[in-house]
Amino acid sequence: MAEPRYDVIAIGNAVVDIIASCPDELIEELQLNRGGMTLVDEARADELYASMPPARELSGGSAANTLAGLSTLGLQCAFIGQVADDQLGKVFAHDMRATGIDFDTPARSGEPATGRVLIFVTPDGERTMNTFLGAGQFLPAEALDEDLIASGSILYLEGYLWDPEEPRRAMRRAIDVARKAGRKIAFTASESFVIDRHGDDFRAMIEDGVIDILFVNESELATLTGEGDFDAGIAAIAGKVPVLVATRSEKGAVAVAHGERAEVAAEPIDAVIDTTGAGDQFAAGFLSGHAKGENLAACLRRGAIAAAEVISHYGPRPEADMKQLMADKLS
């Protein structure tokens, strides 16, 4: 087997996050799914944008955010995702490359526009996301660079992108290419509504041994397993994937690998500003340790540190010097 060129290659939504602070009353007024993620069409996205207070625009997308965290921690990363040939598409591509991530998927001409996520952040730091996937829904299998996929030690897949048919086919093809090359498959479930729609696919991949590293949060674990009790949910899956990571917000996180279980408390911070990207950065921290061969507890601690950094400010990507932060916290 050839030595991998990249530590992690990810396939995910290529979107720009538009983030605004708002009062709780606006969530009710706009009839939003507080704390959740809702898919919207372009007309609804325009309507919500018009109703937003002053906002910040930052490149996002779950898997892309994770790669941004990994890159700042010194790992070699590449991203596969679809943008349109428009201004937001250029912003996204620039932000990825400026972060040190290789991104060469050709932009798509014509409609729809590049995807965007309108994020309303209430005073408690909770984020309510409304996603227009745009061009990201049309990532074709033909856009995959199979040599690139085979050159990554880990292929990281975003559950959100499993919903549209075309990128789902592309991700299935990428899994085949990565497995034939002897690479690991990491999968993040992304959201309970995705599991509601595609849980049979995810459970089949787990049963068939396709997934090597599975990331879920507490509610996703319950949806995936049908178990309301957290530990029962862990037990239902832990023996079926080599590495299971389950996050629990302020209650920390649990991981099980090859029969070993480890737990970590949430990292203390002064104030929660914006929870956007918390799970994405937890995955980045965990994978940064996993790629270095660190033990399960150390990987979890890295995840907790990365998640705490991102929820201490607006936006889904790190702002601190993450290498230095890790060195300070882990010393």
pLDDT in tens, 161-188: 998 899 999 999 999 999 999 999 999 9
Confidence class for position 315, pLDDT limits 50, 70, 90: confident
In a domain, 208, yes or no: yes
Q: Which residue has the higher pLDDT, 36 or 213?
A: 213
67 within some domain: yes
Q: Which of 26, 45, 20, 64 is nearest to 314 (CA)?
A: 20
Q: What is the mean pLDDT of the chain?
A: 94
The answer, yes or no, to whether residue 314 has pLDDT greater than 90, is: no
**Is 300 inside a domain boundary?**
yes
What digits encode the pLDDT tens for the residues 28-47?
999 999 998 898 999 999 99
246-291 residue pLDDT tens: 999 999 999 999 989 999 999 999 998 888 889 999 999 999 999 9
Q: pLDDT tens digits, residue range 98-155? A: 999 999 999 999 899 999 999 999 999 888 999 898 999 999 999 899 999 999 999 9
Q: Is residue 34 part of a domain?
A: no
Residues of the domain holding 157:
6-15+61-114+135-330
Q: Which of 201, 195, 167, 57 is closest to 119 using CA atoms?
A: 57
Q: Are 314 and 274 in contact (CB under 8 A)?
A: yes
The answer to whether the pTM exceeds 0.85 is yes
How many percent of the chain have pLDDT more than 90? 85
Do the domain assignments include residue 217? yes
User: What pLDDT band is residue 1 in, cutting at 50, 70 and 90?
Assistant: low
Domain assignment present for 46 = no
In order, the DSSP letters of 104-164 are: -PPPBPSSSPEEEEEEEE-TTS-EEEEEEEEGGGG--GGG--HHHHHTEEEEEEEGGGGSS
CATH assignment at residue 177 = 3.40.1190.20
Tell whether 121 is covered by a domain.
no
Q: Residue 49: inside a domain, yes or no?
A: no
How many domains would you assign to the chain? 1
